[in-house]
Structure 1
Amino acid sequence: MLSKVHVIVTGAGAGIGKEIVTSCLSERAHVVACDISEDSLNELKASYSTNKLSTYTVDVADYDSVKDFFKQIKATSPGVNALVNNAGIYLAQNLLTYSEEEINKVLDVNVKGAVYFSQFFGKYLIEKDAYGTIVNMSSVWYGSCKDSFL
C-alpha cells in the first residue's frame, strides 16, 4: 500500500503515464499528474473522483515551466516524496531521417526534461531534509532493427 507516497508523474495524460497514475491511485498514493496537454489532464481528472489526484500543465522541456511547477509544489504539496520521469516523445519515423530540429526536440523532452525534473526534485528534497525516490523510464516500439534504423 502506498498511502504515504506522494508521487509526481510526468507524461501522465496518456499511455504509460496514465497507467502509472491509475496504479498509484489504486494503491492509495497521492498523485501529482503532469503533462503538456491540458485536455488530457482534464480527462484524467474527470476519470477519478478523489482528492488524491492533482494535475498540472507543464512542458518538461522548458526549464522555466519546470521551475514554476516546483514553486507551486512547494506551496501546495509539501509531502511529495517520489518522482516518475515518464514523459517522452517518439517521432515514429526512421532515425536516419530525423532533422536537426527533430533530434533537438527529442533530446529536449526525453533527456533534458528528466534532468530538469530530477534537479528540481532533488533540490526540493534537500530543502526539506527528506528522502525520496526517482524512477526514470523510457520505452519505444521499435520493430526489427532494419525497420527502425534503415
Structure 2
Amino acid sequence: MGRFADKVAIVTGGASGIGEATVRRLHSEGATVVICDIRGDAVDRLIAELGTDRAHGHLTDMMDLGAVEQMVTDLAARFGQLDILVNNAGMGSFGRVTDIDLAHWREVMTIDVDAVFMASRTAIPHLTRSSGTIVNVASIAGMLGDHSFAAYSAAKAAVINLTRSMAVDHAPRVRVNCVSPGLTATPLAVGLTGNAEIMAGYGECIMLGRAAAPAEVAAGIAFLASCDASYITGHNLVIDGGMTAHSGQPNFTRILAGKSHLDEAETAIRR
C-alpha cells in the first residue's frame, strides 16, 4: 500500500502550503494522517478531498502550548500509536530588531520554536515505543542572514539546532531531521511570488530559476520520515533550488561577456 501503511502521522499547520502537500503525500503512501490546524474550514475541505477514513482533523492553536501538548497526548491515545510527527506550523516575520517589538518577537518564537519543542517533547515517548521519527520544517533563513528577517531567521536557526540536539539525545529509537526550504509557492508567500520585482531578484540567486512547489518540499519530508532514510538522523535537508550553493559573488561570465574579457578576468583573479 505504500511506505507508510499502518503508520499514524501528525502534521501541524497541515491545511495549506507545505503542510497540506505533506498530508497529501503521506496519505497517498498509506498513512493515517491527522491534519492539525487552526482553520477548521480548511481542515474540513482537505479531509473531504482525501475522502478516506485515514484522514482526520484536529483544531489546534500553536500559540497555546498547553493545547499543543494536549493535542499530541489525545491523538496518541485515540489511535493507540504515533509514528511520525511533522512540525510544520509556523509564521513569517519581516523587520529588523529595531523595527519589531517584544510581543511580535515572542509570537514568532512561540509558534516557530516553542510549539516545536512542546509537540516533540510530548511525542517522543510515543515515538520511542514505535521507533518513530520527527521531521521539522525550518528554512534556509535559519542557515544564513537575510535583510529584515531577524525574528524569523533566529527562530528557524533554533529549529535546526533543536533538531540536531533531539537527534543526539533520542537515538537510536527516534530519528529527528529537518528540511530547510527556500522560496516556496505557498499561499503565505504570495506577497513574494506574486511580485514581479521581487521574483526578478530571486531569479538572480535561485539556480533552478523558480520557486519550489509545495509538493517538492513534501517529497523531502516524506523521504526523511520513511524507511528509505533509516540511517539518517540529525540532518538538515536543504530544498532551495541551489540558492545556498552560491557564494554570492558576481556572475563574471555574464558581466564579462566575450572570450577576451574572460581571459582578462581569469588573469586578474590569479593575481
- For normalisation by structure 1, the TM-score amounts to 0.85
Partner of 1:99: 101
Work out the CA distance in 1 between the residues paired with 2:127 and 2:148. Answer: 43
For residue 7 of structure 1, give the secondary structure of its aligned residue in structure 2: strand
Q: Which residue of 2 aligns with 1:5?
A: 7
Distance 1:107 1:148 in 2: 13
Query: Which of 63, 68, 71 is the aligned partner of 2:70?
Result: 68
Residue 131 of structure 1 and its aligned partner are, at CA, apart by: 1.5
Note the C-alpha offset of 1:6. 1.3
SS class of match (2:92): coil
Whether the aligned pair in 2 keeps the contact of 1:11 and 1:35 (CA below 8 Å) is yes
Runs of 4+ in structure 1 over 4 Å off: 146-149
Find the counterpart in structure 2 of residue 139 from structure 1: 139
% identity of equivalent residues: 28
TM (norm. structure 2) is 0.49
Structure number with bigger Rg: 2
* Deviates further, 95-104 or 13-22: 95-104
RMSD (Å), alpha carbons: 2.2
Matches within 5 A, 1:124-135: 124-126=126-128, 129-135=129-135
SS at match of 2:44: helix
**Secondary structure of the corresponding residue to residue 32 of structure 1:** strand
1:46 to partner: Cα distance = 2.0
Superposition deviation, residue 43 in structure 1: 1.7
Q: Gapped runs of 5+ residues in structure 1?
A: none
Within the candidate set 59, 62, 65, 2:61 is matched to 59
CA distance 1:74–1:5, shift in 2 (3 Å): closer
Structure having greater relative contact order (Cα 8 Å, sep ≥ 6): 1
Which residue number corresponds to residue 123 of structure 1? Answer: 125
Distance between the aligned counterparts of 2:125 and 2:11, measured in 1?
Answer: 17
Moved more, 50-59 or 64-73: 64-73
Pairing of 1:22-61 with structure 2 (within 5 A):
22-61=24-63
Tell me how far 1:146 sits from its aligned partner. Answer: 4.2
- Structure 2 unaligned regions, length at least 5: 151-271
Alpha-carbon distance between aligned partners in 2 of 1:114 and 1:11, rounded to the nearest angstrom: 11
Partner Cα distance (1:40, 1:63) in 2: 22
Residues in 2 aligned to 1:68 and 1:146: alpha-carbon distance in whole angstroms: 37
Instruction: Give the Cα separation in 2 of the matches to 1:48 and 1:7.
Output: 15
**Cα 1:147–1:63, aligned 2, differ >3 Å: closer, same or farther?**
closer
* 3-state secondary structure, aligned to 1:21: helix
Going from structure 1 to structure 2, the CA distance change for 1:78 and 1:98 (only over 3 Å counts) comes to same
Q: Distance in 1 between matches of 2:146 and 2:83?
A: 39
